[in-house]
A and B are shown apart, each in its own frame.
Chain A
């Protein structure tokens, strides 16, 4: 096992220093206090500003960010996520000819935060604000695959094909994590399938999931595999949004 990582230790020390200072500190002050070269201190401070743990005031001095008190809150809230996703969600709907949804995990369910209609101008209802059982849809599986939730016992059946056994779902989620996308065929609604992929924030945390859903006959072939091009299109959109959120390409 590798030893402690020095830059993490130093970052922690910078945060303690700034949190206790009671006023903004300059780069040199931070460097002096920790026995670091100015360039090293500057690099640490810039990175901490980037991740949102440190803010710079009008005089250019550094302070611990008020957001530190609220670390459990997602860095990118649903409103910002939607704002960053709109263009790519539109593009995904246009490219696949299917409806597109963006979801975040909320109280164990997949909360739809954005919805683009299937581009055929038929009558459709906006589902933004509704939530779906996470274990039974592609969006939810993507979200569960990266969330520290405990899955136990049996899960409610939405259709005859819903995965209701927690152990089976856990195994499926491992596969989702490994392949980087999720598929669902008639597990939520008869005749409907969905494909989804994770949207990542800076640092790699999953901020949400984006996916298409529609007629199973159109989305999957007779053997239940997603039709050609569907998965790459969904992943392309997910990556484009992740890039806008500042995630590094994986």
Chain B
């Protein structure tokens, strides 16, 4: 015991090859984080900044890509300073990012040519509808694994190109570059206009609708259908591989991984084997199940996506149940209604009452994603009586995340034929005990949180560390997973079933709300 204490507590006697840190950048929808991990996989430093989205019109959601870059450039040195790390102490940098958000920038100036169009943005509704009218919403699913929906990056590029003729010309010449957020950050980090690497990782590329899931390259047929010129697109690379050397922020450090944040969380939870799954609760909620090296097909409204690709190994695929709004609803309670002053306060507010008082909240703010895929659905608060207080509304807000989880869990179980015996969770909302208990209650299985709840960052760090040999293999990473908390189901079966019926009825009532074009 004492020898273990000596090595775990002060890090003295560390082998030289175990020294140093992996820097993870988690560029999320709500905030940007930089986290440093040591060889034991422990978080040693963290710097974070929340950024506000812009909502220029109903349904439009934008971020400022220049500010995102500035945040990254500021947060990384700030986190490094917490442990007095110099760039020489950084063994690798890994990036995880909000997915499907499109950035377009000028190759020469290195500046964005417009706002980043965020994954929650629904401006592409007309394009998506028009394309679906000719062959159905699933016409491209056999190639890219995704249904036509406003959620994905490809239609967003189509929209941008259609709305600016000069942009199309510049894109065709390769004067402007397109990418998701990780592309933008890798390009900036590796030199920007001065030789920056224009790459996208395969997990992010699998969210565009433009990549063929089998070849892992842009599909000529899909590029044609969406009218996106190949010259403006990044090269698709594995999730774990050295892409280049940083010339900014951490000069000399190897940029060695990029994954979409949800795939990064799957990686950080060490779900490396088929059948292993996790659910991440942030702005949205995302249940992903590793399905191995064969491309899976869903018949229950799940997406097929790439889970990760380590170097030249075959890729791992995943089935995904995407929930558009979980934490974003808490944020809405804070920012739009002012019922709470911080997101975590929703828990105390919800605990002022013992139950939801009959009220349900379906947050179909961007329509509904998995398993419904209803673009025309809109949010609904139902079951209101004079009895209902803000405490009940807070309960309904938290329960909405739990019931939506049950919807995607049932879809995953139906598609995979596997029954989940417990649910691994992570993300910002897992600090909410009432929510975690409610998830356990409505699923009727234990909910388990790992020792590092910043699993998105951990996954990016793991993938980067693997690429540079800081960690030998995935087995070594698996050994670092430990249970930090577990919530066991404690709800009576009849209460659960009544709630589930009510929830499903509330969901049905959101369908078909948008009946005329928004001007």
Size of the A side of the interface (Cβ < 8 Å), in residues, is 35
C-alpha spacing A126/B44, complex, angstroms: 25
Contacting B451 at CB < 8 Å: which of A90, A124, A229, A230?
A: A90
State whether A129 and B433 are in contact (beta carbons under 8 Å apart), knowing that A87-B43, A90-B453 are contacts in the complex: yes
C-alpha spacing A78/B342, complex, angstroms: 12
Kindly supply a per-residue 1/0 record for chain B positions 1-20, scoring 1 wherever the CB is within 8 Å of any chain A CB and 0 otherwise: 11011101110000000000
A90 touches B484 (CB 8 A): yes
C-alpha spacing A227/B4, complex, angstroms: 12
Kindly supply a per-residue 1/0 record for chain A positions 59-91, scoring 1 wherever the CB is within 8 Å of any chain B CB and 0 otherwise: 000000000000000000111101100111011
C-alpha spacing A86/B46, complex, angstroms: 12
Contacting B348 at CB < 8 Å: which of A77, A116, A128, A129?
A: A77
Q: Which residues of the partner chain A approach B474 to less than 8 Å between Cβ atoms?
A: none
Q: Which residues of the partner chain B approach A97 to less than 8 Å between Cβ atoms?
A: 4-5, 8
Most chain B Cβ neighbours within 10 Å, of A83, A121, A128: A83
Contacting A78 at CB < 8 Å: which of B10, B44, B348, B451?
A: B348
Does chain A have a CB within 8 A of B86?
A: no
Does chain B have a CB within 8 A of A135?
A: no
A121 touches B483 (CB 8 A): yes
Does chain B have a CB within 8 A of A181?
A: no
B5 touches A227 (CB 8 A): yes
C-alpha spacing A121/B431, complex, angstroms: 20
Does chain B have a CB within 8 A of A217?
A: yes
Does chain B have a CB within 8 A of A233?
A: yes
The SS class assigned to the B binding surface is mixed
Does chain B have a CB within 8 A of A103?
A: no
B485 touches A116 (CB 8 A): yes
Separation in Å of the B215 CB from the closest CB of chain A? 40
C-alpha spacing A165/B443, complex, angstroms: 49
C-alpha spacing A91/B453, complex, angstroms: 10
Closest to B10 in A: A229
State whether A93 and B451 are in contact (beta carbons under 8 Å apart), knowing that A80-B345, A115-B485, A229-B10 are contacts in the complex: yes
B8 touches A96 (CB 8 A): yes
Q: Which residues of the partner chain B approach A117 to less than 8 Å between Cβ atoms?
A: 482-486
A79 touches B344 (CB 8 A): yes
B484 touches A93 (CB 8 A): yes
Q: Which residues of the partner chain B approach A230 to less than 8 Å between Cβ atoms?
A: 5, 9
Does chain B have a CB within 8 A of A94?
A: yes
Q: Which residues of the partner chain A approach B46 to less than 8 Å between Cβ atoms?
A: 87
Closest to B433 in A: A128
Does chain B have a CB within 8 A of A149?
A: no
Does chain B have a CB within 8 A of A9?
A: no
Q: Which residues of the partner chain B approach A120 to less than 8 Å between Cβ atoms?
A: 482
C-alpha spacing A94/B40, complex, angstroms: 9
Closest to B44 in A: A91
Separation in Å of the A103 CB from the closest CB of chain B? 14
B454 touches A228 (CB 8 A): no
A218 touches B348 (CB 8 A): no
A87 touches B483 (CB 8 A): no
- Mark out the residues of chain B between 241 and 263 whose CB falls within 8 Å of any chain A CB in the assembled complex: none
Q: Which residues of the partner chain A approach B441 to less than 8 Å between Cβ atoms?
A: none
C-alpha spacing A123/B346, complex, angstroms: 30
C-alpha spacing A149/B10, complex, angstroms: 36
State whether A95 and B8 are in contact (beta carbons under 8 Å apart), knowing that A80-B344, A82-B431, A90-B453 are contacts in the complex: yes
Contacting A228 at CB < 8 Å: which of B5, B40, B343?
A: B5
A218 touches B9 (CB 8 A): no
Known contacts A79-B346, A95-B9; 18 additional CB pairs below 8 A are A77-B344, A78-B348, A79-B347, A82-B344, A82-B431, A83-B343, A86-B453, A93-B484, A97-B8, A116-B484, A117-B483, A129-B433, A217-B1, A228-B6, A228-B10, A230-B5, A230-B9, A233-B9
Residues of A within 8 A of B (CB): 77-80, 82-83, 86-88, 90-91, 93-97, 114-117, 119-121, 124, 126, 128-129, 217-218, 227-230, 232-233
Residues of B within 8 A of A (CB): 1-2, 4-6, 8-10, 35, 40-44, 46, 342-348, 428, 430-433, 451-454, 482-487
Can you identify 9 A-B contacts, CB atoms within 8 angstroms?
A82-B433, A88-B43, A90-B453, A91-B42, A97-B5, A218-B5, A228-B9, A232-B10, A233-B9
